[in-house]
Amino acid sequence: MKEKKIILGVSGSIAAYKGAEITRRLKEEGMSVLVIMTKEAEAFITALTLEALSGNKVYKEMFGGREYSDIEHISLADQADLILIAPATANIIAKIAAGICDDLLTATVCATKAKVLIAPAMNENMYLNKITQGNITKLKNLGYKFIAPRRGKLACGKIGEGCLADVETIIKEVKKVL
């Protein structure tokens, strides 16, 4: 059986550090992991950590550091068996819903024919905001899959809905979608 290639999109949430554990667990499941980090994610976790765990280059910039002739967002989109965005901020969800492709992650999502699985992580007020919920509904209607956030202690210190789903839940959903 062909090794499944997962693109893990890590966006700028405090939960970005869980990208390391998600990467490790996907590798344990026999999957190849290519990580795309948004600029904002770099405030929370380093590319070096994700590179070491994935065993692959981490992609960050739309047009940066081109060492070969491939157009990265197209090449990555074509390789993917699945794009998993975990954590997904309200911003990244809104950009995908609006078709905005101003970074490598959103451009890759727009260019792919692979399934896309999104695991939101944000403050409860942001998650329950009517605009965010409308964006999620729009994407679900277009065939995007979501892993609901869990209730727990948020970065602001309050208890609420918006914590990234448990890593094991994310891995289970990835396997189900594949």
Beta strands in 16-149 (DSSP E): 32-37, 58-59, 82-88, 115-120, 145-146
The total of structural domains in the chain comes to 1
Provide mean pLDDT across the span 167-174. 98
- The pTM of the full predicted model, rounded to 2 decimals, is 0.94
Active site (annotated) includes residue 156: yes
* CA gap 116, 77 in Å, rounded: 11
Nearby residues of 61 by Cβ (< 8 Å), 6 or more positions away: 104
By C-alpha distance, which of 12, 121, 123 is closest to 60? Answer: 12
Residues 6+ apart with CB under 8 A from 132: 90, 93, 94, 122, 126
d(CA 64, CA 4): 26
pLDDT of residue 125: 94
CATH number at residue 28: 3.40.50.1950
Range of the domain at 165: 5-177
Could you tell me the pLDDT band of residue 62, with boundaries at 50, 70 and 90? Answer: confident
The arithmetic mean of pLDDT across residues 76-92, rounded, is: 96
pLDDT given at position 70: 64
